[in-house]
Amino acid sequence: MARSLVAALRPRQWTKNLIVFAGLIFGERLLDPAAVTDAVAAFAIFCLLSGVVYVVNDVRDRDADRLHPVKSRRPIAAGDLPVGSALLFALVVAALALAFAFRLSIGFGALAATYLVLLTLYSLWFKHIVILDVLTLAMGFVLRAWGGAEAVGVDMSHWLLLLTLLGALFLALSKRRAELVGLADDATRHRPTLAEYSPQLLDQMVSVVTASTLVAYALYTIDPETVARFGTDRLTWTLPFPLYGIFRYLYLVHRRDGGGNPSEVLMTDRPILICVLLWSAAVVLLVYGWPFAAGR
């Protein structure tokens, strides 16, 4: 039972919550031990809240998940975790996570509660409404990023919020395409809203979001406010990393039938993982200088 409860929280998906640390890094608080502690706490809280959303989602979709080749092995769909126990567990975890969130700060607690309500509504209703489904998922990432900034007491850049929204839309639309193509005739039985999409429509949406994301990132790196804040105009040098990462992801979606699980791609595709690590290192070096302690 304990193993099933932990598995129901889907800890393998928690890498999505790493966006919480964006405020810490770009808010120039990475070398502040207190801010790092608060950011780690915010990350843990969002991991628990996202786990609660997964439990609610799996309870809601348990019948459809039994038709999926992979999701049928989830504890609730497989029958290893009773529905009543799962919901009680989710309620307790949600209460504890929100209690710690409001203890961290009122603003962060409000954002955490908003995230929980919005994503719960997604699991119950919004996921069945075309276009609104992917927009809701994207807003969940925005709330994570915003919450991370609030937790460390910095103002989140409007550019970074926009980039979070666009990047999350790219992943959500790519995931929908992977599901639609991968499940073929079973796609609409697993997720009814997929009947409203087509590979061609999703390809057009992904193209628009891809171009918008890359242009927005490029403009962010040369924005006068960004240059003034970090004291450098060299963030433009990091543009090849998102270019490669996005193109690699599209390659996996179109040529390797991947993209159905963004978290798994990040952890298992070595080129994307290396790209993300190199981008992170480049940003830290450019923002904080070398060596770090001398710059801040």
pLDDT tens string 177-233? 888 887 666 666 667 788 888 889 999 999 999 999 999 999 999 999 999 988 888
Residue 224 CA, distance from chain mean position: 28
| Amino acid, res. 292 | F
Count of C-beta atoms within a 10 Å radius of residue 101: 27
What per-residue string of b and e applies to 201-230 under the rule 16 or more CB within 10 Å gives b?
A: ebbebbeebbebbbebbeebbebeebeeeb
Q: Are the C-beta atoms of 138 and 168 separated by less than 8 Å?
A: yes
Instruction: Please tell me the distance from the alpha carbon of residue 109 to that of residue 96, in angstroms, as a whole number.
Output: 12
pLDDT band at 295 (very low <50, low <70, confident <90, very high): very low
Question: How far apart are the C-alpha atoms of 145 and 20, rounded to whole Å?
Answer: 5
Tens digit of pLDDT for each residue in 102-126?
A: 999 999 999 999 999 999 999 889 9
Helix (H, G, I), strand (E, B) or coil at 121: helix
**Are residues 204 and 215 in contact, defined by beta-carbon separation less than 8 angstroms?**
no
More confident residue, 254 or 271: 271
What is the rounded (10 degree) CA torsion for 157, 161, 166, 171?
Answer: 120
Looking at the predicted structure, is the pLDDT value of residue 296 above 60?
no
* Maximum Cα interatomic distance, the chain, rounded to a whole number of Å: 59
CB neighbours of 112 closer than 8 A, spacing ≥ 6?
Answer: 45, 46, 49, 97, 98, 101, 102, 147
Chain-centre distance of CA 32, in angstroms? 25
Contacts of 73 (CB under 8 A, 6+ apart): none
Q: CA 185 from chain center: how many Å? A: 28
The CB-side HSE value for 236 (13 A sphere, CA atoms) comes to 10
What is the predicted pLDDT for the residue at 183? 67
Note the pLDDT tens digit of each residue in 134-193.
999 999 999 999 999 999 999 888 888 999 999 999 999 998 888 888 766 666 666 778
The pLDDT tens digits of the residues spanning 253-265 come to 888 776 667 777 8
Q: What is the pLDDT of residue 184?
A: 64
Return d(Cα 184, Cα 59) in angstroms, integer. Answer: 24
Let me know: does 39 contact 23? Beta carbons within 8 Å: yes
The answer to whether residue 77 scores a pLDDT higher than 60 is: yes
Name the phi and psi angles at 57, rounded to 5. Answer: -65, -45
Mean pLDDT on 238-248: 95
Which of 53, 48, 52, 44 is closest to 21 using CA atoms?
44
Distance from C-alpha of 169 to C-alpha of 207, rounded to nearest angstrom: 11
Closest CA to 168 of 204, 146, 141: 141
Mean pLDDT across the chain, nearest whole number? 89
- The pLDDT score that the predictor gives to residue 291 is 53
Q: For residues 110 and 158, give the distance between their C-alpha atoms in angstroms, rounded to a whole number.
A: 19
**Structure confidence by residue, pLDDT tens digits, 22-58:** 999 999 899 999 999 999 999 999 999 999 999 999 9
Distance CA 152, CA 34 (A): 8
* Residue of 272, 65, 22 whose CA lies nearest to 159: 22
Residue 294 has what pLDDT? 46
